[in-house]
Structure 1
Amino acid sequence: MDLQILPVTTSKEKVKDENQLVFGKQYTDRMLIMEYDKGQGWHSARIQPYGPISLDPAAMVLHYSQEIFEGLKVFRRPDGSLSMFRPADNITRFNRSAERMCMPEVDETFFLDAMLELIRLEADWVPRSAGTSLYVRPTMIATEPMLGVRPADQYLCYVILSPVGPYYKGGIAPVKIWISDFYVRATEGGTGEAKTGGNYAASLYAAKEAAESGYDQVLWLDAKEKRFVEEVGSMNMLFLYDGKIVTSPLHGTVLDGITRRSVLTLVKEMGYEIEERALSVDEILEGAGNGRLQEAFGAGTAVVISPVGSFCYKNNCVQLGDGKPGKLTMELYNMLTAIQYGKQEDRHNWITLL
């Protein structure tokens, strides 16, 4: 499949103060798009001006939620060059999500090359200030107009770009987490491991309740016993417990996070033992009190590493240590961001230079 590049006649005005960039509010001049028809496969790949897409009111994505997406970033390095963090892993995960949602897979090499070409064309949109980046959102939706519950025969795949400011505008700060004892995010056999919109839609009500009560995030428990922690809505969770790194195993209800993978590689090299097991709520509450739970942090593309200051479960709230980011948490944050921005050697071939 060839990639067609269409001209852009007008350019949008960029935000002058990059520290005022709001996540997901501004988009670049171009987008990558390609179409799929059963029997024909993917076709009509093109980079075109950013703009609305036309959907039939009966498009199956609107009725049966066949939709997947990814999220990754482009970083501007000290010498002005651009890099991405493990983009091939994101595309592989994109295809795993597609398989789970009965959607057609993309050619990973072609899709990565086309996405990199889009970013090169939009290079001026990559912010230059410390902590800023260009967020990349690949998406696939079912477009066939059909009111019937089955996999669609037509799809649209596209990539849009959004310049984003520093996640922590006032410096990295611990979050206050509410552990849900009623709502659940995913069940075994469900779509929890796929990056699909329905998972996030299901989390909104609990997140709204948590925010109204003063919490920053919701930590989800397993659906069967509502006892073992799984992940926070936008992050995988990791714990420094008894001197070991403990994190929920990947058994179909937890997203296989790219940042999570990277963290596990780094902590193993640092000499930490890793336990992929589900930590219970009791272990969290008791461990925070007796010191066995030394640190906890989330890992994800948007935040990189997010320190946890406290957990609240029902009417019991516990603080971790002095409530400040832990030593290991900060080491990992500084290490990962240094690799991403080209300030530290990439010994794992995680970086793709543009």
Structure 2
Amino acid sequence: MSADLQFSVEPTTHPASDDQRAQVLANPGFGQYFSDHMAIATWTAEKGWHDARITAFGPLELSPATSVFHYAQTIFEGMKAYRHPDDSIHLFRPEANAARFQRSAQRLALPDLPTEVFLDSLHKLVEIDKAWVPGGGETSLYLRPFMFGSDPFLGVRPSAQVTYCVIASPAGSYFANGVKPVRIWLSEEYTRAAPRRHRCGEDRRQLRLVAARPGRGDRAGLRPGRVPGRRREEVGRRARRDEPVLRSR
């Protein structure tokens, strides 16, 4: 698959009305409502990445035998699009999310999604659903890219078919009742954001899936009996600088 793949745009014929959208944006909460469109693409061992499009948000038709249901071969990311006072819309360092998405794919024996393709799906989804980006306060449009094994096959091997999707959900302030002091517990021994962190639906059988693809287990640094993503000790404490805010197209 080359990074030349671009998402075609197929506008929905049944978008939410202005009144319906305004009602949602007045109190979006988190993860309860979704914009009119989603991004979707398919990968197969024979054709690589193809059929990339922005289309109407809706259900996915999957066989009960789809591998993700049985072996949890799936990864995800999360980021936000923000509306600025000049009405422009910005994404915060999405290249970093693309890089982590690629690292997660490697750990789960999923195909690599080029950064350019990842960014194209975000930009075009935000562009067509820009009316869903709330403004003011700490509101945003939450973007959820995810990838899963969609091969209808019951067997312990990496999926021969994979689906990539991005959905979008307007989000209100994380602290619905305002920011208030909270009691926290700090650990110097463990970290939630460890080096080489990945985000996936974990299952011990994933080790067997990774091992079924020659060389992938070795590159991921996996050892028999170890589940990826569990506790990591003695992690490096490297400060990361924020990258510049990017303007969506």
Normalising by the smaller structure, the TM-score range is 0.7 to 0.9
Task: Say which of 107, 113, 136 aligns to 2:120.
Answer: 113
> Quick one: distance in 2 between partners of 1:23 and 1:117?
22
TM-score between the two structures when normalised by the length of structure 1: 0.54
> Quick one: distance in 1 between partners of 2:202 and 2:128?
32
In proportion to residue count, which structure has more strand?
A: 1
Correspondence list, 1:105-184, <5 A: 105-176=112-183
Task: Say which of 98, 103, 117 aligns to 2:105.
Answer: 98
CA distance 1:185–1:67, shift in 2 (3 Å): farther
Matched, 1:195 2:181: no
Q: CA deviation at 1:20?
A: 2.1
> Quick one: distance in 1 between partners of 2:44 and 2:64?
18
Could you tell me which amino acid in structure 2 is paired with residue 37 of structure 1?
T
**Which entry has the higher C-alpha Rg, 1 or 2?**
1
Q: CA deviation at 1:8?
A: 1.1
Asked whether the equivalents of residues 44 and 162 of structure 2 are also in contact (C-alpha less than 8 Å), the reply is: yes
Over residues 256-301 of structure 1, what are the superposed CA-to-partner deviations in whole Å (9 max), with x where a residue is unaligned? xxxx97xx346xxxxxxxxxxxxxxxxxxxxxxxxxxxxxxxxxxx
Could you tell me which amino acid in structure 1 is paired with residue 111 of structure 2?
P
Could you tell me which amino acid in structure 1 is paired with residue 244 of structure 2?
W
> Quick one: distance in 2 between partners of 1:144 and 1:175?
45
> Quick one: distance in 2 between partners of 1:17 and 1:93?
31
> Quick one: distance in 2 between partners of 1:198 and 1:84?
28
Asked whether the equivalents of residues 143 and 155 of structure 1 are also in contact (C-alpha less than 8 Å), the reply is: yes
Q: CA deviation at 1:249?
A: 2.1
Aligned to 2:46: 39
Over residues 226-257 of structure 1, what are the superposed CA-to-partner deviations in whole Å (9 max), with x where a residue is unaligned? xxxx79xxxxxxxxxxxxxxx9725xxxxxxx
> Quick one: distance in 2 between partners of 1:193 and 1:89?
12
Could you tell me which amino acid in structure 2 is paired with residue 194 of structure 1?
H
Asked whether the equivalents of residues 19 and 169 of structure 1 are also in contact (C-alpha less than 8 Å), the reply is: no
Could you tell me which amino acid in structure 2 is paired with residue 67 of structure 1?
T
Correspondence list, 1:202-241, <5 A: none
Task: Say which of 3, 7, 25 aligns to 1:3.
Answer: 7
Matched, 1:353 2:247: yes
Asked whether the equivalents of residues 71 and 135 of structure 1 are also in contact (C-alpha less than 8 Å), the reply is: yes
Asked whether the equivalents of residues 18 and 132 of structure 1 are also in contact (C-alpha less than 8 Å), the reply is: no
Equivalenced residue count is 211
Over residues 276-331 of structure 1, what are the superposed CA-to-partner deviations in whole Å (9 max), with x where a residue is unaligned? xxxxxxxxxxxxxxxxxxxxxxxxxxxxxxxxxxxxxxxxxxxxxxxxxxxxxxxx
Q: CA deviation at 1:155?
A: 0.5
Over residues 30-70 of structure 1, what are the superposed CA-to-partner deviations in whole Å (9 max), with x where a residue is unaligned? 00000011121010000100000011100000000000000
Over residues 146-199 of structure 1, what are the superposed CA-to-partner deviations in whole Å (9 max), with x where a residue is unaligned? 11111110000000000000111222234445799xxx999x9xxx93200228
Aligned to 1:77: 84
Asked whether the equivalents of residues 39 and 121 of structure 2 are also in contact (C-alpha less than 8 Å), the reply is: yes
Correspondence list, 1:286-301, <5 A: none
> Quick one: distance in 2 between partners of 1:2 and 1:24?
27
TM-score between the two structures when normalised by the length of structure 2: 0.76
> Quick one: distance in 2 between partners of 1:103 and 1:265?
27
Aligned to 2:221: none
Aligned to 2:235: 249
Could you tell me which amino acid in structure 1 is paired with residue 141 of structure 2?
L
Q: CA deviation at 1:3?
A: 2.3
Instruction: Tell me: higher relative CO, structure 1 or 2? Use CA pairs within 8 A at least 6 residues apart.
Output: 2
Asked whether the equivalents of residues 19 and 129 of structure 1 are also in contact (C-alpha less than 8 Å), the reply is: no
Aligned identity (percent) is 37
Task: Name structure 1 gaps, 5 residues minimum.
Answer: 200-223, 225-229, 232-246, 251-259, 267-347
Task: Name structure 2 gaps, 5 residues minimum.
Answer: 204-225
